[in-house]
């Protein structure tokens, strides 16, 4: 048998060959030092490869994945429990407060109601005022736009179409130059 | 029915604990593979999480005639290919080039071959293999990891990649020889 090919070496090491092929290779290895060395070399090398260290993962990795796969959803029952617990805690705190301070519950409640009512009334007044200002601004803006359109229409009847085109072109150019000028000024400012 | 398939069935029925068991069983093998494919620890852990999330969503489409572990690693492999495609790194899309490499016969053992193994302690050799592994093409590295670190059989790797067993064997041998050559150059 002639010397082994690299693939034969690997197939032999991985026990991928038939018993007949194995026997032939073993017979050859008994007489060929070069092939024997090459085989030993690869055998040791891939023994090391078979025992490479594990990639480290944090101990809470499973929980992290589970939290992403099953995100916590608050059920209706949990909501109702939270509301019930919250309400009963407030009632219990108030009761404890009245029992220990000896205050009159009716006076306290009427005081709170009065304060709340004043708060609601003040907020309502602010909202009404804001609404009035907004409607006034809308009326003024509408009238202004109407006047602008009226006067513009009157102007177009007085000036010939050629002059109108010239004015529009001039205005667009002026506007473009203005924008470019401002931009340049900003850029110069940035550079400096 | 094997244990994995039962766990999949239970997960589909809504048993959280069953999926938790799947994660516990496969988090280390997937991290071993992904970690060596991407190199960065945080990114590798993030990708491993993403792979489990993708797997969970894909569970209803899992066909029990396939082995669960090979199906899971197919998802992981596609995930890595997608990542490289997005980053426009063509490391895994060299199958055509690889196919021509597959045609070439393996060389004979050269007359004078330096011994690399005897120069190092086993722990140092492991470290060197890890470093060299980063340098070999991703398409070969992937197969080497599955064979030597995840301990898949050639048949299982062929199932994951959808390639003939002979081609896979050939490529794993190519990967091994490339690692050996790289180690040789480093010495």
Neighbour count for residue A16 (Cβ, 10 Å): 15
Model ipTM value: 0.83
Determine the pLDDT at residue B63: 93
The verdict on a CB contact (< 8 Å) between A52 and B179 is no
The rounded distance, in Å, linking the Cα atoms of B152 and B95 is 21
Give the residue extent of every domain in chain A.
6-50, 104-158, 160-192
- Residues of chain B with Cβ-Cβ distance to A2 below 8 Å are 108
pLDDT of residue A153: 84
Domains, chain B: 3-86 (1.10.1740.10), 95-186 (1.10.10.10)
Share of chain A above pLDDT 90, in %: 50
B70-117, pLDDT tens digit by residue? Answer: 999 999 999 999 998 887 665 555 455 566 666 666 777 777 777 777
The closest CB to that of B106, out of A5, A53, A54, belongs to A5
Give Cβ neighbours of residue B12 (< 8 Å, ≥ 6 apart): B59, B60
Q: Which of B19, B28, B125 sits opposite A69 (nearest CB)?
A: B19
Q: Per-residue pLDDT tens for B161-175?
A: 999 999 999 999 999
Calpha distance A17→A30 (Å, rounded): 18
How far B2 CA sits from the closest chain A CA (Å)? 22
Element (H, E) at B151: none
How does pLDDT run across B16-43, given as a tens digit for each residue?
999 999 999 999 999 999 999 998 999 9
Q: Decide: B156 and A83 in contact? Cβ < 8 Å.
A: no
pLDDT at B5: 94
Query: Which residue, among A24, A22, A2, A23, has the nearest Cα to A13 in the 3D structure?
Result: A22
Q: Are B147 and B157 in contact (CB under 8 A)?
A: yes
The whole-model pTM stands at 0.65
Confidence of residue B187 (pLDDT cuts 50, 70, 90): low
Low-confidence ranges of chain A (pLDDT < 70): 1, 188-192
């Amino acid at each position: 048998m002639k010397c082994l090919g690299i693939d034969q070496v690997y197939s032999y090491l991985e026990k991928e060959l038939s018993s007949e092929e194995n026997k032939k290779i073993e017979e050859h290895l008994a007489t060929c030092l070069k092939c024997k060395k090459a085989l030993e070399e690869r055998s040791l090398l891939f023994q090391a490869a078979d025992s490479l260290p594990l990639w480290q993962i944090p101990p809470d990795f499973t929980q992290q994945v589970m939290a992403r796969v099953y995100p916590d959803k608050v059920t209706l029952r949990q909501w109702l429990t939270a509301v019930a617990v919250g309400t009963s805690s407030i009632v219990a705190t108030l009761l404890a407060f009245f029992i220990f301070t000896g205050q009159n519950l009716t006076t306290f409640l009427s005081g709170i109601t009065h304060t709340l009512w004043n708060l609601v009334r003040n907020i309502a007044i602010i909202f009404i005022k804001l609404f009035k200002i907004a409607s006034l601004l809308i009326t003024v803006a509408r009238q202004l736009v109407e006047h602008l359109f009226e006067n513009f229409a009157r102007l177009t009847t007085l000036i010939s179409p050629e002059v109108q085109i010239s004015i529009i072109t001039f205005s667009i150019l002026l506007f473009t130059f203005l924008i470019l000028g401002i931009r340049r000024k900003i850029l110069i400012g940035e550079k400096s | 029915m094997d244990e994995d398939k039962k766990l999949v069935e239970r997960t589909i029925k809504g048993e959280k604990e069953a999926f938790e068991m799947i994660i516990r069983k496969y988090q280390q093998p997937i991290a071993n593979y992904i970690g060596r494919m991407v190199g960065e620890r945080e990114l590798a852990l993030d990708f491993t999480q993403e792979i489990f999330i993708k797997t969970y969503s894909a569970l209803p489409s899992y066909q029990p005639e396939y082995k669960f572990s090979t199906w899971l690693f197919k998802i992981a492999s596609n995930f890595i290919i997608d990542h490289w495609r997005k980053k426009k790194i063509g490391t895994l899309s060299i199958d055509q080039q690889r196919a021509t490499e597959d045609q070439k016969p393996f060389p004979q053992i050269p007359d004078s071959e330096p011994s690399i193994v005897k120069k190092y302690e086993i722990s140092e050799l492991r470290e060197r293999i890890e470093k060299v592994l980063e340098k070999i093409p991703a398409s070969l590295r992937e197969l080497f990891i599955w064979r030597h670190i995840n301990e898949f059989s050639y048949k299982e790797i062929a199932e994951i990649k959808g390639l003939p067993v002979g081609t896979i064997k050939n490529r794993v041998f190519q990967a091994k020889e490339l690692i050996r050559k790289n180690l040789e150059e480093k010495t």
